Amino acid sequence: MTIEKTELPDSSEDKEPIYFAPKRVSLVSVTASILSWVVLVGFIGDFVAQMISLQAQLTTQGLTLSSLLHESSFYAYIFSNMLIPLLTGLGLFAILQAASVGLDMLLETDYNMRDAKKEEKA
C-alpha cells in the first residue's frame, strides 16, 4: 500500500483573504450605485404623482391653492404625503451612493496595498 503525499500550496502564493473577493465587492458596489438611482427616480416619481393627485383634487372641488394655505391640515397633508417620502428617497439615495463609493475606496486601497507589496518584493 502506498500513501501519496498531497502537496500543500506555497504559503507565499496563497495570500488572498478568505472572505474578500474583489469581483464580488465590485459587483455589490455597482449594484448599490444603480439601485440608488432607481430609488431616487422612484421617489421623485411618487412626488410627481402626489402633485398631480393634489392638483386633480383641487380642480374637482373647485378650490385654489391660495385658499388652502391658511389651513393647517393642508400643511400636514403636504408634509406627510410629499415631503417625508421625498426626503426618505434622498436619504436612501445618499446612503446607497455612500456605500458604493466606500466599497470602491476599499477596492482601490486593496489594489494599492498589493502593488506596494509587489514593489517591495522586487
**How large is the C-alpha radius of gyration of the chain?**
27
pLDDT tens for residues 29-85? 999 999 999 999 999 999 999 999 999 998 998 888 888 888 888 899 899 999 999
User: Can you count the helices (H) and strands (E) in the chain?
Assistant: 4, 0
Q: How far apart are CA 96 and CA 53, in angstroms?
A: 29
Question: C-alpha distances in angstroms, 15 versus 8, 10, 18, 25, 103?
Answer: 14, 9, 9, 18, 21
pLDDT tens for residues 79-110? 999 999 999 999 999 999 999 999 999 999 88
Three-class SS state of 105: helix
**pTM metric for this prediction:** 0.74
Residue 6 banded pLDDT, cuts 50, 70, 90? low
